[in-house]
Amino acid sequence: MKIDYTIRLKNFIFIALGVAIYAFGFVNFNMANHIAEGGMAGLTLVFHALFGINPTYTGYLFNLPLLLFGIYFFGRKMMVYTIYGTTLMYFFVLYLSKIPSFILIYSMII
């Protein structure tokens, strides 16, 4: 069986859609109610609650060593989607945290 390593546009679109949904829940449920989840996302929420640091900045800072570790062990081709998803996630978190949540939820109802 041959392994296909080509990068496909469809994968990028689905990653962006999934990350946007996750970031919406992260900002409007976890950040709004001060609920920390597990993993790096939870750690960023803890730093946000304790020190007031935006989760976008701490997310990039905490994930950078893990991404470099992954590039070293899994190769550059395997990490393209991971770096894209991580970067896009914290971009959406930064963008969605600037919009009041009642506007987003009200626009979804209508």
Look at residue 19 in the predicted model and tell me its pLDDT: 96
By C-alpha distance, which of 65, 17, 62, 21 is closest to 42? 62
pLDDT digits 0-9 by tens, 18-70:
999 999 999 988 988 888 888 888 999 999 999 999 999 999 999 999 988 88
CB-based contact 34:52 (threshold 8 Å): no
Assigned domain for 3 exists: no
Tell whether 68 is covered by a domain: yes
Q: Over the stretch 61-109, which tens digit does the pLDDT of each residue have? A: 999 999 888 888 887 777 888 999 999 999 999 998 888 766 656 566 6
> Domain of 99?
9-109
Domain count across the chain: 1
Instruction: Name the more confident of 2 and 81.
Output: 81
